[in-house]
Amino acid sequence: MTKKRALAKILSSKVMFKGRVFGVRREEVIEPGAVRAAREIVTHPGSVVVLPVFPDGRILMIRQYRQSVRQYLWELVAGSKEAGESFERGAHRELLEETGYTAKRMRKMLDLLPSPGFLTENMVIFLAEGLQLGKSQPEADEKIEMRIFSLREMESWIRAGKIRDAKSVAGILYYAHCMRRGRHKK
């Protein structure tokens, strides 16, 4: 039987900032091992990521501008989970909003903590199959380009540094090496 490990004792917690997408909280804590520390924590409601796969094995990606890194990035479909929304429901919503596609099957692939040193975000990556095209419903500030890639091309782009977004790299490589099992050799 495993011994339950001690957690930090929170001495104080103060919301420093609350924005539309995230917040910042400052906590004074005594961590396991009697380490007293001040921690700034970025709070986030969680996010969904979608890897849309066509019957022939090709994968849909989107390209959009990201001001934080001042670059256009190729990424998987993704967005924040809305209040009261399940991760799966959020995945269906984001897929439709950003691409116009709906999926007959949405299967959870990975559940990640992208940066647990300071961020509360829980990110869940889904495999979307049985895709049907409809009309996209992007948010007002989203200008999205779509492209369909072969898995081989995406792996090559990852090696070349053309796909740098961590959630996309994780989802693509997990799919390629842990889920495909030889289904799509292209």
On the question of pLDDT at 1 being above 80, the answer is: no
Pick the range with the lowest mean pLDDT from 106-110, 124-128, 135-139, 146-150. 135-139
Round the CA-based radius of gyration of the chain to a whole number and report it: 19
Core vs surface per residue 122-153: b (16+ CB within 10 A) or e: bbbbbbbeebeeeebeeeeeeebeeeebebeb
Return the H-helix or E-strand segment holding 91. Answer: helix 87-99
pLDDT in tens, 137-186: 777 777 899 999 999 999 999 999 999 999 999 999 999 998 765 454 44
Of the listed 27, 142, 153, 155, which one is catalytic?
142
- What is the C-alpha to C-alpha distance for residues 95 and 130, in angstroms, rounded to an integer? 12
SS3 117: coil
Active site residue 142: yes
Q: What is the pLDDT of residue 185?
A: 43
Superfamily of domain 47-179: Nucleoside Triphosphate Pyrophosphohydrolase (3.90.79.10)
Q: What is the pLDDT of residues 85-104, one digit of tens each?
A: 999 999 999 999 999 999 99
- Spacing of C-alpha 20 from chain mean position: 18
Do the beta carbons of residue 171 and residue 137 sit within 8 Å? no
The per-residue pLDDT for 181 is: 57
What are the boundaries of each domain within the chain?
9-43, 47-179
First to last CA, the chain: 46
Using the predicted structure, report yes or no on whether residue 125 has a pLDDT greater than 70: yes
Inter-residue long-range contacts of 69-73, CB under 8 Å, 24+ positions, other chains counted: 73/163, 73/164, 73/165
Is the whole model's pTM more than 0.85, yes or no?
yes
Q: To the nearest 5 percent, what fractions of the chain are helix, strand and coil?
A: 20, 45, 35
For residues 25 and 111, what is the distance between their CA atoms, to the nearest angstrom?
A: 24
